[in-house]
Amino acid sequence: MAEITASLVKDLRERSGVGMMECKKALVENNGDIEAAMEWLRKNGMAKADKKADRVAAEGLVAVATQGGKGVMVEVNSETDFAAKNDQFIKFTKDVADVALASGATDIEAVKAAKLGGGTVEEGAKELTLTIGEKFDVRRVATVQTDGVLGAYSHSGRIGVLVALKGGSEELAKGIAMHVAAMNPKFVSEKDVPADFLEKEKEIELSKMTDKEKAKPAEILEKIVSGKVNKILADVTLVGQSYVIDTDITVGEALKKAGAEIIKVERLAVGEGIEKVVDDFAAEVMKQAGLA
């Protein structure tokens, strides 16, 4: 059997929001497979949405630059939050976004090779490393270009969002960008949801039902399961979510009211997908408590 480490229990707890003992049991039941353990927790009614995508480990900034119907966001990472607040780093990140916008670069290698000052963006990052004493990484770029309406939003330099609309107004586009920053929907609308995602949710909902519920006629059972899955779809799709600017309506209803539709959405949050090595006091306590 795979070793159930404190780190593994902690990861599952962060993803599921479930207590440590339940997480350890789920991992034991599934031989240390965190994906299978997450599904096991959901099937047993102990976990809802997977929180893995919300994890932010690295430091740095996301800078946004727009002009007309074109918008660019770049993520530049630093080793510490202290360095991310350095004026030189803040200026460098903004300059990189401006350069990416002006150059028309659409991939990160093109951004790194773009001219900045007397050299390239990549050379500028290395020079900043020599000045500040930390490694800096120009990591990601996202672009949106539209003949319609462009909305942009930056949340404290930690999250950036670009939204392109057909119809509507800049105010609506920015409002939806703010919503995306806050709620981070997995999909724009139901048509973007993969079939395997729907099948997996149906399977999970069925597994959570009692034998008495499962004994109902097939057509009734299908309606019950479909109703539950539709609620999940409302939670994970942008147009189905309650609009943060006006919680009495959904984003979809706000778009319909304005005669607008979403063409493209891009969202960058600092450190997505990066694990940062830290001194984990909580893991030490869990180990001493026999949870490792």
| DSSP-derived secondary structure for 230-278 | HHHHHHHBTTTSEETTEEEEEHHHHHHHHT-EEEEEEEEETTBT-----
How many Cα atoms occupy the beta-carbon half-sphere of 110 within 13 Å?
A: 13
Q: Cα separation of 139 and 251, whole Å? A: 31
What integer is the mean pLDDT of 205-210?
87
Structure tokens at 50: 């997977």
Q: Determine which of 81-95, 129-143, 209-223 has the lowest per-residue pLDDT on average.
A: 209-223
Q: Determine which of 143-147, 162-166, 226-230, 277-281 has the lowest per-residue pLDDT on average.
A: 277-281
Q: Given the structure tokens 């963006």, which residue do they identify?
A: 121
pLDDT reported for residue 160: 97
What integer is the mean pLDDT of 30-45?
89
Give the right CATH number for 1-56+275-292 from 1.10.8.10, 1.10.10.10, 3.30.428.10, 3.30.9.10: 1.10.8.10
pLDDT reported for residue 196: 92
Superfamily of domain 59-145: Elongation factor Ts, dimerisation domain (3.30.479.20)
Residue type (1 letter), 240: G
